């Protein structure tokens, strides 16, 4: 039978890994840049917000994978301690499957963030839409003038 402290330590470790994975996304706002963003040329456009819409940004597939693996490992270990012989093997497989599903769901929930879909009329009349994570210090309003920084297929909106 598994030692109770070992089970608790294993569970806490898995939850910690899931939590860190869910919080490791880069800052999507204009006030923080990753090293890959430095020394790159970005196109700059100016426009006016014409619509804001709250959205939920789901976690990345990477954090779900970590949760799935951690959950499956815990479920498999716990399941293997049930019964003996073939019954123990079946319980380990079932525990791994259930643990993997539970871990994936937990990681997905931890990785969800509040976002905003900004619809912007650029100065040339073109209308674009960009989704980015909500920053409580940078709440956009309809009619607000903004700067749109575009680098390839990615963009960020900042106040003008």
pLDDT per position as a tens digit, 72-103: 777 666 666 666 666 666 666 777 777 766 66
pLDDT in tens, 17-58: 444 444 444 444 445 667 777 778 899 999 999 999 999 988
Q: Which has more pLDDT, 68 or 118?
A: 118
User: Domain boundaries in the chain?
Assistant: 37-96+110-159
Strand partners, 120: 49, 128
**Burial (CB count within 10 angstroms: exposed 0-12, middle 13-18, buried 19+), residue 149:** middle
Residue 92, pLDDT score: 67
Q: Rounded to an integer, what is the distance from CA 159 to the centroid of its chain? A: 24
Quote the pTM value: 0.52
Residue 21, pLDDT score: 44
Q: Which residue has 């993997």 as its token pair? A: 100
pLDDT in tens, 103-154: 666 655 566 888 999 999 999 999 999 999 888 888 999 999 999 999 988 8
């Amino acid at each position: 039978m598994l030692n109770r402290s070992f089970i608790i330590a294993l569970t806490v470790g898995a939850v910690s890994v899931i939590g860190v994975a869910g919080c490791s996304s880069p800052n999507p706002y204009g006030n923080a840049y990753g090293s890959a963003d430095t020394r790159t040329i970005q196109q700059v456009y100016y426009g006016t917000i014409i619509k804001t819409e709250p959205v939920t940004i789901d976690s990345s597939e990477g954090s779900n994978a970590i949760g799935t693996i951690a959950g499956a490992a815990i479920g498999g270990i716990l399941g293997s301690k049930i019964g003996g012989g073939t019954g123990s093997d079946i319980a380990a497989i079932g525990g791994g499957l259930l643990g993997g599903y539970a871990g994936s769901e937990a990681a997905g929930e931890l990785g969800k963030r509040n976002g905003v879909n900004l619809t912007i009329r650029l100065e040339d009349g073109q209308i674009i839409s960009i989704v980015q994570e909500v920053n409580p210090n940078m709440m956009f309003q309809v009619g607000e003038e903004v700067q749109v920084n575009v680098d390839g297929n990615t963009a960020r909106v900042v106040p003008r």
